[in-house]
Amino acid sequence: MPDNSQMNAQGFSENSRLRASDADRDQAATVINNAMAEGRLTPDEHSDRLDALYAAKTHADIVPLLDDLPAGQGAVAPIPTGEVASPAGGADHIVAIFGGAARKGVWRPQPVIDVVTIMGGAELDFREAVLPGREISIRLVCVMGGVQITVPPEMHVVDSTVAVMGGSQVAGDTDESLQPGAPVLRVTGLCLMGGTEVRRKPRKTPKARRDALES
């Protein structure tokens, strides 16, 4: 029998034959994404590790991909329901007037994001984002403009926007996004003759990640 009593900092046992779940891979992918954002991995190393990660079958396959990286600093630690991540990091400000703005790929959102679009558009993709905590808030104002938000399968979305001669469309929850400790995105604000769309998409395949990094 393997000895599973010794766990490394990321919570994966190098001696374990325990089969890796999608949640395990996503946790490890967040650590790898964070390492590239900090300059610890090159784009090629990042791509190679993600390829190996999504081919991993057991915890023992995942450990070598993480053992030279900071101990899970990129992972989103579960926070008990009812607690909110501290907003000490401040706020992002995204403004698109007669133009566009985008945040996607590996990026570091603040706990609060203010978005203003006036006859323009903004795109925010959280699938590869290095989250600051369990909860993120987007406060938006759309005037004859729009905001498109893409979230991963496990993110729970709470939409409280008000639309005047506009609209708001939010993808429904999944089994993953309804689990306790799931990351939460709160969207508030006003859409005047504009609209918001929150869509739920799976993370990119290793090949798609590599192509995006190389483009």
pTM of the model: 0.56
* CB-CB neighbours of 78 under 10 Å: 12
Residues 93 and 39 in one domain: no
pLDDT, averaged per 10 consecutive residues of the chain (215 residues), comes to: 39 70 76 76 80 85 87 40 40 86 89 91 92 89 91 91 86 87 90 90 66 50
Closest CA to 152 of 178, 183, 126, 172: 126
Are 28 and 69 within one domain? yes
The answer to whether position 18 is within a domain reads: yes
Q: Are 158 and 131 in contact (CB under 8 A)?
A: no
pLDDT at 74: 36
Task: Give me the pLDDT at residue 14, please.
Answer: 58
The SS3 assignment for 160 reads strand
- Least Cα distance to 100 among 78, 85, 79, 122 occurs for 122
* pLDDT score for 86: 38
Residues 48 and 151 in one domain: no
Are the C-beta atoms of residues 122 and 98 closer than 8 Å to each other?
no
Q: Do 3 and 33 have their domain in common?
A: yes
- Give a yes or no: residue 214 inside a domain: no
Q: What is the pLDDT of residue 75?
A: 39
Task: Please give the order of strands across the beta sheet that includes 121-125.
Answer: 100-103, 121-125, 146-151, 195-200, 167-170
Do 20 and 125 have their domain in common? no
Q: What is the pLDDT of residue 9?
A: 40
Per-residue confidence (pLDDT) for residue 134, from 0 to 100: 86
Residue 205 in domain = no
Q: Which range marks the domain in which residue 54 is found?
A: 1-75
The pLDDT of residue 1: 37
Which pLDDT value is given to residue 7?
Answer: 36
One domain, residues 69 and 98: no
Between CA 104 and CA 201 the distance in angstroms is 13
